[in-house]
């Protein structure tokens, strides 16, 4: 299968190069084409990014960047950040429940403890968002997304070890504009999933208040489905998804050189499907007890009944987030000064049966299920609250002869807490496992200078200093203070072979903060050291109006990678020995008349632990029962899974030489789109295929996603100048069962799956 896809991609690349030999002028001058004039279309070489904290053409930036517009995201069926893996090669999305943990070129995290953050930094309109839960949010009013691959420690700073994801939402306009869309979809119910409706609405309105001075915009989105999952305990539908988001912006231009943007947002999500997973290969502690219900097919689930604050089942997953930002940009003769102030407040509530099945009743009145009494099965209640405040000042100079620079100051403060309780269905009020509180502060100063040594040669050097005091406390148990300091440099060289072609090389360092160890109960509150990546990258970029191609190779020396093993009631957090990752990235775009083709591929032949002799995971071997049966176990976890790896039992095991989780060797995607105008009307259509080789999902090598390919497509017809468009769409048309999240513990190996095949119609109106 893999060889077939590699051959297919090779054929595509040969075709792309063959098409590129067609002179652009010939395509533009085709007298039979009635499409909009080519001169009105932006060139493929005109894409502007802010990867170096200033506006630059993408082809001039010595980094590997994937930029996708809001329109292209819609055409590719990308409705949330989790779907980005369909259009960004080398990007794999996974997680644990509401904790999203994407991977960029193999750099990810398994940590979900309070205060832990993702090594792939998320920025929304320039504001850093540390809370891992928000990485799974829907996209309602996106203008574009930039995925920066590789460490971004100098300009983006903390926790950008693997890269950065920049989301830019639509700005208010001084021209009255609006867009509305309504999707009516249906999950088709194939392959074990349940047929279900899916309704999604999105809106954006912008109006000028004072011409060229004041404008406001309001956007929002709503998504609902009753669920495409089946509860195997009674055969009913489950997995409700209800998501709402709102965003408002005010744009003020008090002077020709000053622009002020005030933004506020609110997100509310109720997504039971995030926690309703399926025991992988039936591996649940419930399977050791007679009369339990253990699902065996993807999109089939089971959970315990109970009563938590009026809830009637252990399958609650909610997210609430609100916040705002203030951006002030002032342009001067010597450069631009930008102030970014951000505030985010997030609360997530998870309450679920992490054994992924329905524990059998004891049959004795007043006696809870034996599986719960022995603590083989775990009912888990997890609440996280987080408040973030950030302030950044950034100055981007104009060119002073051959020299230009970027410099800035950054402040960040996060305060939060988590509540972890278990067995509330057994013991009134449950058992308190932990209730840590944390505070993280970060101070940073950074600068990067570009020297154009000759008309062809550019030299870049940058440096960032981070000072991060951490204060964590578990009330009445332990208190920890620790400060982490780091220096992250970046050096790059770029040489322009022609106006369209350049080559570059970079050396950069990424840094992710350590942890004080307050949540590391299983290891005696041992602290966790910071992560550090030293990256070497070389690449070539070619861009002209109708054709672009980018190729890069990278090598990572990854030190002190942080890993977590979830035991069911607590976690083991530790650092690994050195890790080595290397591979290649490729992407290309081609436009010929009404057709446009985009392709991307990432090959990572090696991503392994070079030294990890004390890894921790779960084996598939269960704790035996005593002669007296389950009730004689006395809370000893009988029926649960022992520490180890796969069929091997042991407190630790040697993972040296093993491959990193969430790091497929080969990923690729391609989009073919078509747009043609006739008689004032416009027809458009597109298809996006995404492929991934097998993905290891847990350190013990038990849960493995086989290689897969998904297909999304759409077509629509816009009626003249009316602004109305009617279309159809299909997502995951191959109906592949793709693992989107995994929780492994003593209670089981539970996998969540992405949505099944969906088809639908969409109507939209814009002016």
pLDDT in tens, 378-403: 988 889 999 999 999 999 999 999 99
| Mean local confidence (pLDDT), 266-287 | 89
pLDDT by residue (tens digit) across 543-552?
999 999 999 9
Among 19-23, 264-268, 302-306, 696-700, the least confident range: 19-23
Q: Are 343 and 388 in contact (CB under 8 A)?
A: yes
Q: Is the model's pLDDT at 35 over the cut of 70?
A: no
Place of tokens 């082809």: 59
**Rg of the Cα trace of the chain?**
26
SS (H, E, C) 587-653: EEEEEECCEEEEEEEEEEEEEEECCCCCECCEEEEECCCCCCCHHHCCCCCCCCEEEEEECEECCCE
* pLDDT given for residue 133 in this prediction: 64
The listed range with the strongest mean pLDDT (91-105, 428-442, 713-727) is 713-727
Q: How confident is the model at residue 447 (pLDDT cuts 50, 70, 90)?
A: very high
Q: Is the model's pLDDT at 433 over the cut of 90?
A: no
**Structure token digits, residue 296:** 């065996």
757/627: higher pLDDT: 757
* pLDDT given for residue 98 in this prediction: 66
Q: Is the model's pLDDT at 17 over the cut of 70?
A: no
The listed range with the strongest mean pLDDT (35-49, 138-152, 187-201) is 187-201
Q: How confident is the model at residue 565 (pLDDT cuts 50, 70, 90)?
A: confident
Sequence length of the chain is 767
Q: Are 404 and 397 in contact (CB under 8 A)?
A: yes
Is residue 500 classed as helix, strand or coil in its secondary structure? coil
Q: Tell which residue, 92, 182, 207, 70, has the closest CA to residue 690.
A: 92
Q: Is the model's pLDDT at 39 over the cut of 70?
A: no
Domains of the chain: 2-766 (2.40.170.20)
């Amino acid at each position: 299968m893999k060889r077939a896809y590699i051959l297919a991609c090779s054929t595509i690349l040969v075709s792309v190069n063959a098409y590129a030999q067609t002179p652009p002028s010939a395509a533009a001058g085709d007298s039979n084409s009635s499409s909009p004039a080519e001169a009105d279309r932006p060139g493929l070489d005109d894409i502007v990014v802010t990867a170096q904290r200033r506006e630059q053409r993408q082809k001039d930036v010595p980094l590997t960047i994937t930029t996708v517009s809001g329109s292209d995201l819609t055409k590719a069926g990308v409705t949330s950040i989790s779907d980005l893996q369909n259009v960004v090669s080398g990007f794999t999305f996974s997680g644990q429940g509401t904790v999203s943990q994407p991977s960029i070129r193999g750099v990810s995290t398994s940590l979900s403890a309070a205060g832990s953050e993702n090594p792939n930094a998320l920025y929304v309109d320039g504001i850093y968002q540390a809370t891992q839960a928000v990485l799974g949010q829907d996209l309602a009013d996106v203008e574009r997304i930039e995925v920066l691959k590789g460490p971004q420690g100098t300009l983006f700073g903390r926790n950008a070890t693997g890269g950065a994801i920049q989301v830019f939402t639509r700005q208010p306009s001084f021209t009255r504009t609006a867009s509305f869309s309504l999707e009516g979809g249906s999950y088709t119910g194939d392959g074990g999933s349940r047929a279900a409706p899916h309704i999604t609405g999105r809106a954006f309105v912008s109006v000028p208040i004072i011409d060229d001075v004041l404008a406001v915009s309001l956007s929002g989105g709503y998504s609902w489905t009753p669920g495409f999952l089946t509860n195997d305990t009674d055969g009913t539908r489950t997995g409700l998804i209800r998501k709402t988001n709102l965003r408002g912006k005010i744009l003020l231009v008090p002077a020709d050189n000053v622009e002020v943007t005030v933004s506020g947002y609110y997100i509310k999500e109720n997504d039971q499907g995030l926690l309703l997973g399926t025991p992988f290969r039936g591996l649940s502690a419930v399977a050791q007890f007679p009369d339990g219900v253990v699902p065996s097919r993807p999109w089939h689930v089971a959970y315990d009944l109970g009563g938590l604050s009026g809830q009637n089942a252990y399958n609650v997953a909610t997210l609430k987030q609100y916040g705002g930002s203030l951006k002030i940009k002032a342009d001067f003769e010597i450069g631009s000064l930008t102030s970014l102030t951000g505030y985010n407040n997030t609360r997530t509530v998870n309450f679920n049966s992490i054994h992924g099945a329905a524990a059998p009743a004891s049959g004795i009145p007043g006696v809870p299920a034996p599986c719960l009494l022995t603590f083989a099965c775990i009912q888990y209640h997890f609440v996280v609250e987080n408040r973030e405040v950030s302030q950044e000042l950034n100055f981007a100079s104009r060119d002073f002869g051959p020299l230009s620079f970027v410099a800035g100051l950054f402040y960040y403060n996060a305060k939060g807490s988590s509540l972890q309780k278990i067995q509330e269905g057994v013991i009134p009020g449950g058992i308190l496992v932990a209730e840590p509180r944390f505070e993280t502060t970060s101070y940073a100063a950074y600068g990067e200078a570009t020297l154009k040594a000759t008309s062809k040669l550019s030299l870049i050097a940058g440096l960032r200093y981070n000072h991060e005091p951490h204060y964590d406390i578990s009330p009445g148990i332990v208190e920890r203070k620790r400060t982490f300091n780091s220096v992250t440099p970046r050096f790059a060289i770029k040489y322009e072979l022609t106006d369209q072609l350049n080559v570059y090389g970079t050396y950069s360092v990424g840094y992710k903060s350590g942890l004080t160890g307050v949540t590391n109960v299983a290891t005696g509150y041992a602290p966790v050291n910071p992560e550090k990546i030293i990256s070497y990258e070389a690449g070539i970029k070619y861009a002209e109006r109708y054709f672009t191609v980018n190729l890069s190779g990278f090598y990572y020396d990854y030190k002190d990678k942080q890993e977590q093993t979830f035991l069911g009631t607590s976690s083991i957090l530790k650092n690994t020995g050195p890790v080595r990752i290397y591979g290649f990235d490729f992407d290309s775009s081609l436009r010929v008349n009404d057709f446009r083709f985009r392709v991307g591929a990432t090959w990572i032949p090696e991503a392994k632990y070079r030294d990890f002799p004390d890894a921790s995971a779960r084996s598939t071997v269960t704790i035996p029962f005593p002669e007296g049966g389950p009730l004689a176990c006395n809370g000893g976890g009988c029926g649960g899974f022992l520490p180890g790896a796969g069929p091997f039992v042991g407190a630790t095991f040697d993972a040296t030489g093993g491959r990193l989780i969430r790091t497929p060797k080969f990923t690729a995607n391609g989009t073919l789109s078509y747009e043609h105008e006739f008689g004032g009307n416009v027809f458009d259509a597109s298809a996006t295929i995404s492929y991934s080789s097998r993905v290891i999902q847990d350190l013990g090598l038990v849960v493995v996603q086989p290689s897969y390919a998904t297909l999304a497509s759409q077509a629509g017809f816009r009626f003249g100048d009316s602004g109305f468009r009617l279309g159809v769409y299909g997502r995951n048309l191959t109906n592949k069962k793709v693992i989107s999240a995994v929780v492994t513990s003593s209670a089981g190996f539970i996998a969540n799956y992405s949505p099944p095949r969906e088809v639908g119609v969409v109507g939209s109106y814009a002016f």
